[in-house]
Structures are given as structure tokens and as C-alpha cells.
Amino acid sequence: MRKSMLVSGVLAVACFVAVSVKAEDKKEAPKAEAAVAEATEAPEFINLEKAKLGAVKFPHKLHADKLGCAACHEGDKPLFAQKTAGGMKMADMYAGKSCGHCHNGKEMAVGEAKKVVFAAKGACTKCHKKK
């Protein structure tokens, strides 16, 4: 327990120093969010094993590369917290929250192009896979 606390503390200090030095070069104050975003890279996949219709293997890096982190994780009302502890509800998606904000069957900007993104409602097997 002491070792993990020590390692966590050392990593936190290292991240803070790295962000502070970078911010000092740009003559701006360091931001806590920037430290978290720069200290970690988007995971390739996020696995949601407890989904009732079957596990979901969300291609997180693919979405991050196309849209950037800010599209989902920043702003006044971010679509997702950095960690989603309580899981996701399909009713929320159908109401345009979380994944349903983009996966609504309507045309939207994806990078430089416009694209119709599949709607969450009625496309269960695009995300849910039975083992």
C-alpha cells in the first residue's frame, strides 16, 4: 500500500512538473485538465462487459483520433466523464445523451467531412456482441 501511494505521488509530481515547464515556456498557467490529458494517451478500446445485450468493445482511440478528446470530455456539459463509473443506459442514448449525441442517424461533421452516423436505436449489434 505504501509503495503504491509513493509511486502515485511521484507520478503526480512528475506530471505537474512536466506541465508546469511546458506552460512556463508558453507563458501561461498550468491547467489540471491538461495535465491529465497530456499524461495519458487514449486507450485503444474501452470494454464494457456488463451490458445486458452483450459486451461492448468501444473503439476509443478511433473516435479520439477522428474527433479529439474535447468533443466528448470537455465543455460545460461533457458527454462523458473521464471515468464512467455507473455504466450507460440505452434510454439516455436514445434521448441524445452520451453516445446518442452523435449516434442519432443524422448528418454531422466528422473531422473535415460530413457523415451520417448510425443511430444507436435499432442498431444494437453494431456495438453489442454476444460471446
The kind and range of the H/E element at 107 are strand 107-110
- 64 pLDDT more than 60: yes
Q: Is the pLDDT of residue 57 over 90?
A: yes
Domains, the chain, with CATH or none:
1-40 (no CATH), 42-131 (3.90.10.10)
pLDDT at residue 4, rounded to an integer: 43
Overall average pLDDT of the 33-40 stretch: 44
Distance (Å) of CA 91 to CA 28, 51, 119: 42, 13, 13
The DSSP element (H or E) to which 14 belongs, if any, is helix 2-25
pLDDT higher for 7 or 58? 58
Mean pLDDT of 97-119: 89
Higher-pLDDT residue of 112, 82: 112
Share of the chain above pLDDT 90, in %: 28
Q: Which three cell numbers stand for residue 97?
A: 445523451
Strands 55-58 and 46-48: antiparallel
Question: For 5-21, how does the pLDDT look when each residue is reduced to its tens digit (9 = 90+)?
Answer: 433 443 444 444 444 44
Residue 49 pLDDT greater than 60, yes or no: yes
